[in-house]
Chain A
Amino acid sequence: MTSPPVTGPAAAPRHRGGPGPARFRPRRTPPAGTVRPSRRGVVSHWRQYLAISPFFLIFGVFSLFPVCYSLYLAFQRWDGMGTVQFVGLDQFRFLWDDPVFWLSIRNTLAIWVLSTVPTLFGALVLATLLHSVRRFKGFYRIALYIPNVTSIVAVSIFFGAVFSNNFGLVNAILGTVGISPVPWLSNPWLIKLVIALLMTWMWTGYNMIIYLAGLQAIPTQIYEAARLDGAGPIRTFFQITMPIMRPIILFTVIISTINGLQSFSEPQVLFGSNAANPNLGGPGQAGLTTLLYFYQSAFVNNDYGYGAAIVWAFFVLIMVLVVVNWRVVQRGRKS
Chain B
Amino acid sequence: MTAVVPRRSRRPRGLTAHIVLVLAVLISVFPFAWTIVMATNTTEDIYKSPPKLTFGSHLLENIRHVLDTIDFFGSMLNTVVVASVTTVLVLFIDSLAAFVFAKFDFPGRKVLFATLVGFMMLPLQLAVLPQFILMSDIGWVGTLKALILPALANAFGIFWLRQYIENGVPDELLDAARIDGAGFFRQYWNIVLPMIRPALSFLAIYAFVNAWNDYIWPLVVLNDPAHLTLQVALAQLHVGHTTDYSMVMAGVLMASVPLVVVFTIFARGFIAGATEGAVQGS
Binding site for B on A (CB under 8 A): 1-16, 19, 21, 24, 26-27, 29-37, 41-42, 45, 47-49, 51-52, 54-56, 58-59, 61-67, 69-70, 73, 80, 122, 125-126, 129-130, 132-138, 140-147, 149-155, 157-158, 160-162, 167, 169, 172, 175-176, 201, 204-205, 209-210, 212-214, 216-217, 220, 224, 247-248, 250-251, 258, 262, 264-265, 268-269, 272, 274, 291, 294-295, 298-299, 304, 307-308, 311-312, 314-315, 318
Most buried by A among B18, B27, B126: B126
- Quick check: A31 and B189 within 8 Å, CB to CB? no
- Quick check: B150 and A62 within 8 Å, CB to CB? yes
B residues 16-40 near A (Cβ < 8 Å) are: 17-18, 20-21, 24-25, 27-29, 31, 34-35, 38
- Quick check: A2 and B158 within 8 Å, CB to CB? no
Give B96 Cβ to nearest chain A Cβ, in Å. Answer: 5
- Known: A1-B262, A55-B94. Contact between A262 and B125, CB under 8 A? yes
Give B275 Cβ to nearest chain A Cβ, in Å. Answer: 3
Most buried by B among A27, A136, A137, A172: A172
- Quick check: A150 and B259 within 8 Å, CB to CB? yes
Give A63 Cβ to nearest chain B Cβ, in Å. Answer: 5
11 other A-B residue contacts (CB within 8 Å) besides A132-B17, A315-B122 = A16-B181, A31-B178, A132-B6, A136-B18, A136-B21, A146-B260, A149-B209, A150-B259, A201-B31, A212-B275, A262-B125
Distance between Cα atoms of A212 and B3 in the complex (Å): 11
Q: Which residues of A contact B106 (CB under 8 A)?
A: 37, 41-42, 45, 48-49
Partner of B125, one of A10, A21, A201, A291: A291
- Quick check: A248 and B275 within 8 Å, CB to CB? no
- Quick check: A145 and B105 within 8 Å, CB to CB? no
Q: Could you list some 25 contacts between A and B, CB below 8 A?
A: A1-B262, A2-B262, A9-B194, A13-B190, A14-B181, A14-B182, A21-B179, A29-B183, A37-B109, A41-B107, A55-B94, A58-B150, A66-B129, A146-B264, A150-B256, A151-B215, A153-B213, A153-B231, A153-B255, A157-B252, A161-B249, A209-B278, A210-B274, A213-B275, A269-B238
- Quick check: A172 and B49 within 8 Å, CB to CB? yes
Chain A CB within 8 A of B267 CB: yes
Q: Which residues of B contact A141 (CB under 8 A)?
A: 267, 271
Give B281 Cβ to nearest chain A Cβ, in Å. Answer: 7
- Quick check: A130 and B21 within 8 Å, CB to CB? yes
Q: Which residues of B contact A48 (CB under 8 A)?
A: 100, 104, 106, 184
- Quick check: B153 and A36 within 8 Å, CB to CB? no
In this complex, what residue of A is CB-closest to B116?
A: A59
- Known: A58-B152, A129-B21. Contact between A51 and B184, CB under 8 A? yes
Q: What are the 10 A-B residue pairs with the smallest beta carbon separation, nearest first?
A: A213-B275, A5-B200, A66-B130, A66-B127, A10-B194, A272-B239, A251-B282, A69-B130, A45-B106, A37-B107
Chain A CB within 8 A of B14 CB: yes
In this complex, what residue of A is CB-closest to B278?
A: A210
Q: Which residues of B contact A58 (CB under 8 A)?
A: 93, 149-150, 152-153
- Quick check: A153 and B31 within 8 Å, CB to CB? no
Q: Which residues of A contact B208 (CB under 8 A)?
A: 2-3
B residues 150-184 near A (Cβ < 8 Å) are: 150, 152-153, 155, 158, 171, 174-184
Give B88 Cβ to nearest chain A Cβ, in Å. Answer: 5
In this complex, what residue of B is CB-closest to A130?
A: B21
Partner of A157, one of B5, B7, B127, B238: B238
Give A281 Cβ to nearest chain B Cβ, in Å. Answer: 14
Distance between Cα atoms of A133 and B20 in the complex (Å): 11
Give B154 Cβ to nearest chain A Cβ, in Å. Answer: 8
Distance between Cα atoms of A63 and B24 in the complex (Å): 39
- Quick check: B47 and A167 within 8 Å, CB to CB? yes
- Known: A8-B190, A161-B249. Contact between A169 and B105, CB under 8 A? no
Q: Which residues of B contact A176 (CB under 8 A)?
A: 50
- Quick check: A167 and B25 within 8 Å, CB to CB? no
- Quick check: A153 and B105 within 8 Å, CB to CB? no
Chain A CB within 8 A of B42 CB: no
- Quick check: A142 and B267 within 8 Å, CB to CB? yes
Distance between Cα atoms of A55 and B149 in the complex (Å): 11
- Quick check: B213 and A151 within 8 Å, CB to CB? yes
- Quick check: A59 and B155 within 8 Å, CB to CB? yes
Binding site for A on B (CB under 8 A): 1, 3-7, 9, 13-14, 17-18, 20-21, 24-25, 27-29, 31, 34-35, 38, 46-47, 49-51, 80, 84, 87-88, 91-94, 96-97, 99-101, 103-107, 109, 112, 115-116, 119, 121-123, 125-134, 136, 149-150, 152-153, 155, 158, 171, 174-191, 193-194, 197, 200-201, 203-205, 208-209, 212-213, 215-216, 219-220, 230-231, 234-235, 238-239, 245, 248-249, 252, 255-256, 258-260, 262-268, 271, 274-276, 278-279, 281-282
- Interface of chain A, helix or strand or loop or mixed? helix
Q: Which residues of B contact A56 (CB under 8 A)?
A: 112
- Quick check: B101 and A52 within 8 Å, CB to CB? yes
Q: Which residues of B contact A175 (CB under 8 A)?
A: 49-50
Q: Which residues of B contact A149 (CB under 8 A)?
A: 209, 213, 259-260, 263
Q: Which residues of A contact B184 (CB under 8 A)?
A: 29, 47-48, 51
Q: Which residues of B contact A45 (CB under 8 A)?
A: 104, 106-107
- Quick check: B278 and A213 within 8 Å, CB to CB? yes
- Quick check: B130 and A201 within 8 Å, CB to CB? no
- Known: A11-B190, A37-B106, A54-B93. Contact between A151 and B255, CB under 8 A? yes
